Amino acid sequence: MNQERSVSKTILDTYNRDLRPLADKLSFELPVQAREPAGFPSVLFLGNHSSGKSSFINHLLGETIQKTGLAPTDDGFTLITHGSRQESFDGHTITSHPSLPLQHLERLGPSLVNRLKLKTLPNPVLEEFSLIDSPGMIDAIGAANTREYDFAAGVRFFAEKADLILFFFDPDKPGTTAETISILTQTLAGLDYKLLIILNKVDLFRNIRDFARTYGTLSWNLSKAIRTKDIPHIYNLYLPDQGTALQESETPGIPLSDFDQSRQEVLEEIRRTPTRRADNLVSDLLQATRKLIMHARLCSTVKLEYRKLQLKWGGISLIALIVGGLATWGAYKTWPGWQIPGSIALTCLVIAIASWGYGKWLRGQFVAKLQDLPVLDQLFADTFRHELALQERSDLRARWHGMRSVVQKTFSILHPSSIPSLFSMGRSIRKLENLQERDLPKLRREITDHSPSS
């Protein structure tokens, strides 16, 4: 525990010293770990409704603490932690409690806080880590509107704080809901190192062909959603004490012994949650550093293109004024009086003003186009053309795919003229690259050397 506090303090200091100054200048939002202590180790449960999240929590705890059912049973997040007796608290009590690092949840709005619950119970499993149950994801288009709160923002908040994320699928909906795809591709972008994919309720299958078909469908959907070369390992399991598929007189349609082993592997990963904490904090910082580097390089490209427009049309306007002045002076020497020289001066002045105005209009168009995702995609391709040309950088593409909507929002409030100078940006980027390549690996080695298993 002392090591966790030490690592947490080091991480917070690094965020504040090395990342926050540049992030504030570029309107880049750092993860929740940069704003508050890491808190107690936790496991986050995500998935479609009726995929078995709550049932798995009950199985893990050995008692019924969460409601289960085929229909959605809850529309809010539930924190389950250890306590001297079984109690339940509402969201406003949770966010205002001084010992719970959840004060920043209030930023996500009262609708989410109103649907937040905290359950405490004297269960020995919860002495090492807490559990976070989430609402089941739904099929409806525009699901975010039906919830009356920003579900994706809530998932991102808890996912960033969690040390392990379990994403449940079931045979009925193997990864096809609109919310599921959005959460996987955008909300959980960059957090795949603590993500486990689970195909639950395999005891529902009547034969191996049905299992193979569903497993293939899930793999296909994940390959389309997760933009990396390899999709995560899929854990196939069922809960023996739930009786989800079979009547008493029936027997399983497929052998279940291998799936018992898979369930034990998931349970072991959950029990490892406290030992993952320090390493996850470093990984979170590394991800934030990589994203900030990408964001800073994109901002540098935007600043350069904007500066080019300024210099081009500002230069044309200045040249028109200089040429107009010289022409006026020459005409005055040749034709004394102000009729001809005055006409020349007026014409050149009009040209200069028109050039300046046209340049201003082009800059406005440039800023407006930063809200178009295809334009941002091209901006990404131009900024990283060398890396993308030398080799297939699926990591860069996956990172960008998870960041593009955030970058779009950033450029709605960050004007190119507000971006620091290219010299200052280059220096800041080099500092972050040194942090990524030298300081963070050193910190990870120190954690490994002082871990209990060393």
224 lies in the same domain as 107: yes
219 lies in the same domain as 250: yes
265 lies in the same domain as 376: no
Q: Is pLDDT at 337 greater than 80 in this prediction?
A: no
Question: Which pLDDT tens digit goes with each residue over 131-149?
Answer: 999 988 876 544 444 677 8
111 lies in the same domain as 259: yes
Confidence of residue 259 (pLDDT cuts 50, 70, 90): confident
84 lies in the same domain as 181: yes
Calpha distance 321→348 (Å, rounded): 6
Question: Which residue range(s) make up the domain with 428?
Answer: 293-449
Phi, psi of 393 (to 5 degrees): -100, 75
Query: What is the average pLDDT across 168-194?
Result: 78
Question: Which pLDDT tens digit goes with each residue over 385-421?
Answer: 888 887 667 778 888 888 888 899 899 999 999 999 9
250 lies in the same domain as 108: yes
Question: Which pLDDT tens digit goes with each residue over 216-240?
Answer: 888 887 777 666 666 778 899 988 8
pLDDT of residue 174: 67
Task: Give the strand pairing for 87-90 and 117-121.
Answer: antiparallel
CATH of the domain at 152: 3.40.50.300
Calpha distance 344→338 (Å, rounded): 10
pLDDT of residue 448: 67
Question: Which pLDDT tens digit goes with each residue over 108-122?
Answer: 778 888 888 888 899
Confidence of residue 454 (pLDDT cuts 50, 70, 90): very low
Contact 52, 199 (CB under 8 A): no
Calpha distance 34→18 (Å, rounded): 11
Q: Is pLDDT at 76 greater than 80 in this prediction?
A: yes
